[in-house]
Amino acid sequence: MPVKDCKNVWILAEVQHGKLSPTAYELLHAGRKLADDLEEKLCAVVLGNHVGKYARDLIEHGADVVYVCESDQLENYVDDTYAKVLTDLVQTYHPNKLLIPATNCGRALSAKTAVFVGTGLTADATQVQINKADGQLYATRPTFGGNLMATITCAKTRPEMCSLRPMAYDKAPLQKGRKGEIVKFPFTKGKHASLAKFLEFIKSKEEGLDLSEVTVIVAGGRGVGKKEGFHLLHQLAQRLGGAVGASRGPVDSGWIDYRYQIGLTGRTVKPKLYIACGISGQIQHMAGVSGADVIVAINKDPNAPIMKMAHYAVEGDMYEVIPAMLEALS
Ligand X SMILES: Cc1cc2nc3c(=O)[nH]c(=O)nc-3n(C[C@H](O)[C@H](O)[C@H](O)COP(=O)(O)OP(=O)(O)OC[C@H]3O[C@@H](n4cnc5c(N)ncnc54)[C@H](O)[C@@H]3O)c2cc1C
Binding site for ligand X (CB under 6 A): 145-147, 221-223, 247-249, 261, 263-266, 278-280, 282, 284-285, 298-301, 304, 317-319
CB of 116 to ligand X, least distance (A): 32
The residue among 98 and 279 lying less far from ligand X, judged by its C-beta, is: 279
Mapped onto helix, strand or coil, the DSSP state of residue 220 is strand
CB of 325 to ligand X, least distance (A): 13
Query: What is the distance between the alpha carbons of residues 17 and 142, in angstroms, rounded to a whole number?
Result: 30
Distance of CA 166 to the CA centre of its chain: 1
The residue among 21 and 261 lying less far from ligand X, judged by its C-beta, is: 261
CB of 270 to ligand X, least distance (A): 16
Query: Angle 318-329/230-239 helices, nearest 10 degrees?
Result: 30
CB of 316 to ligand X, least distance (A): 7
CB of 266 to ligand X, least distance (A): 4
The one-letter amino acid code at 270 reads K
CB of 65 to ligand X, least distance (A): 37
Beta carbons of 239 and 326 less than 8 angstroms apart:
yes
Spell out the alpha helix ranges (H) of the chain: 23-38, 55-60, 79-93, 104-117, 189-192, 230-239, 248-252, 283-286, 306-309, 318-329
The residue among 120 and 249 lying less far from ligand X, judged by its C-beta, is: 249
Beta carbons of 287 and 308 less than 8 angstroms apart:
no
The residue among 131 and 143 lying less far from ligand X, judged by its C-beta, is: 143
The residue among 29 and 248 lying less far from ligand X, judged by its C-beta, is: 248
Give 37's contacts (C-beta < 8 A, 6+ positions apart). Answer: 129, 130, 132
The residue among 49 and 282 lying less far from ligand X, judged by its C-beta, is: 282
Q: What is the CA radius of gyration of the chain?
A: 21
Q: What is the DSSP letter of 167?
A: T
The residue among 85 and 102 lying less far from ligand X, judged by its C-beta, is: 102
Query: What is the distance between the alpha carbons of residues 208 and 192, in angstroms, rounded to a whole number?
Result: 37
CB of 313 to ligand X, least distance (A): 11
* Burial label, 288 (beta-carbon count in 10 A; 0-12, 13-18, 19+): buried
